[in-house]
Amino acid sequence: MRMLSMLLGLFISSFAATAADMSKGADNFYKSDNVTQQKVTFKNQYQMNVTGNLFMPKGMDQNAKNPAIVIGHPMGAVKEQSSNLYAQKLAEQGFVTLAIDISFWGESEGKPRNAVAPDIYAEDFSAAVDYLGTRPFIDRNRIGVLGICGSGSFVISAAKIDPRMKAIATVSMYDMGSANRHALNNSLTLAQRKQIIADAAEQRYTEFTGGATQYTSGTPDKIDENSPPIAKEFYDFYRTPRGEFTPKGTTSALTTHPTLTSNVKFMNFYPFNDIETISPRPMLFITGDQAHSKEFSEDAYKRAGQPKELYIVPGAGHVDLYDRTDLIPFAKLTSFFKENLK
């Protein structure tokens, strides 16, 4: 009997590590009956093909000039994770929306895969504005941007030098620069940072001479009861049926894992420097009151010029706002973009 209990305990533990938490309306793979979807491809300034999903409200007047929103996925993810959901929900409210894969990820071009290139990431959002602003059914003076997680810092980087982005919103934003320089709550020491940089530099020799590519950070492929809470939080989305998606030609184990040698480029990424110059274009920062990433939205809000708003969602963690439709404040996003893209 004791052996049976032990085996049952192991089974339950194993199941708990793989079962998805679908509470609070988790619906990453939502499919709307009220919008149309079209895959589109366009080039950024580096002549790299960027691929996205274009959503339009059914019955939209294509002879009119309509407002549009570009939507970016979490860092290391793809458009099928979180951003498609947001794009459809906002398209249901009358916007044309474009959920893109940033370069080096998903269906967009860029080699090596999973490379970190913050300037090119930001360029992809401007290229998406190029695409939308040249469609006959889009009002190029009413284009907004929305960045989820890491893309929040990329849309800010883009908006600082692209005034065509008329309204900027972020959800569960990560400042990918600060996160790599200092880690959460400034927990990374200078010595640890230098060791990370040294390891990446040494790995360049290995890969330059034909050695295997190494990857870093991201979501663990296995967890147990001793795994850190943040690891469990990401695992539940990226490594279970709740949000797992494998881009064609890759493996699920590679999603959210940037290359080791390129990830240090985030050390030179300072998206919040000069954020106040985006003013008077409005900015909205959405974060959960329990989000481990809340510090980044608070920092951006503090530095930004007016008009700006920090909107805190009660009871929400970081990943909750990827897909939990009972928590995501779609009404707030809708009112923000309707007011500022009118």
Distance between CA atoms of residues 68 and 102, nearest Å: 18
Joined together, the tokens standing for residue 335 give 């009112």
Query: What pLDDT score was predicted for residue 19?
Result: 78
The answer to the question of residue 116 being in a domain is yes
The DSSP line for 233-256 is: HHHHHHTSTTT----TTS-GGGTT
In this structure, what CATH number is given to the domain that contains residue 163? Answer: 3.40.50.1820
Query: What pLDDT score was predicted for residue 252?
Result: 67
Distance between CA atoms of residues 57 and 318, nearest Å: 29
Q: Which residues contact 159 (CB under 8 A, 6 or more apart)?
A: 145, 165, 168, 278, 281
Distance between CA atoms of residues 283 and 300, nearest Å: 10
Mean pLDDT, range 189-200, rounded to an integer: 97
The answer to the question of residue 221 being in a domain is yes
Q: Which band of pLDDT confidence, cut at 50, 70 and 90, is reported for residue 16? A: very low
Least reliable range by pLDDT among 119-133, 155-169, 250-264: 250-264
Q: Which amino acid is at 55?
A: F
The DSSP line for 177-213 is: HHHHHT-GGG-S-HHHHHHHHHHHHHHHHHHHTTPPP
Tally of residues, the chain: 342
Q: Would the pLDDT of 293 be above 90?
A: yes
Distance between CA atoms of residues 313 and 292, nearest Å: 13
Mean pLDDT, range 233-242, rounded to an integer: 96
The answer to the question of residue 1 being in a domain is no
Q: Would the pLDDT of 8 be above 60?
A: no
Least reliable range by pLDDT among 115-129, 248-262, 275-289: 248-262
Q: Would the pLDDT of 1 be above 80?
A: no
Q: Which band of pLDDT confidence, cut at 50, 70 and 90, is reported for residue 9? A: very low
Between strands 96-100 and 49-57, the pairing is antiparallel
pLDDT in tens, 69-82: 999 999 999 999 99
* Beta-sheet strand order (sheet of 165-171): 35-43, 49-57, 96-100, 66-72, 138-148, 165-171, 283-288, 308-313
* pTM of the predicted protein model: 0.93
Which residues partner with 57 through β-bridges?
35
Distance between CA atoms of residues 45 and 196, nearest Å: 31
The answer to the question of residue 7 being in a domain is no
Long-range contacts of 213-216 (CB under 8 A, 24+ apart): 213/112, 213/259, 213/260, 214/259, 214/260, 214/261, 215/114, 215/254, 215/257, 215/258, 215/259, 215/260, 216/257, 216/258, 216/259, 216/260, 216/263
Query: What pLDDT score was predicted for residue 193?
Result: 97
The answer to the question of residue 262 being in a domain is yes
Least reliable range by pLDDT among 12-21, 188-197, 210-219, 330-339: 12-21
Q: How many domains does the chain have?
A: 1
Mean pLDDT, range 247-265, rounded to an integer: 87
The answer to the question of residue 8 being in a domain is no
In three-state form (DSSP H/G/I as H, E/B as E, the rest C), the secondary structure along 260-315 is HHHHHHHHHCCCCCCHHHHCCCCEEEEEECCCCCHHHHHHHHHHCCCCEEEEEECC
Question: Three-state SS for 17?
Answer: helix
Distance between CA atoms of residues 7 and 44, nearest Å: 55
pLDDT in tens, 86-144: 999 999 999 999 999 999 999 999 999 999 999 999 999 999 999 999 999 999 999 99
Q: Which band of pLDDT confidence, cut at 50, 70 and 90, is reported for residue 18? A: low
Query: What pLDDT score was predicted for residue 109?
Result: 97
The answer to the question of residue 42 being in a domain is yes
Tell me the pLDDT of the chain averaged across its residues.
94
Q: Which residue has the tokens 């990431």?
A: 121
The answer to the question of residue 298 being in a domain is yes
Query: What pLDDT score was predicted for residue 248?
Result: 78
Q: Domain residues for 211?
A: 16-340
Best CA proximity match to 284, nearest among 238, 340, 239, 217: 340
Distance between CA atoms of residues 17 and 224, nearest Å: 6
Query: What pLDDT score was predicted for residue 267?
Result: 97
Q: Which amino acid is at 134?
A: T
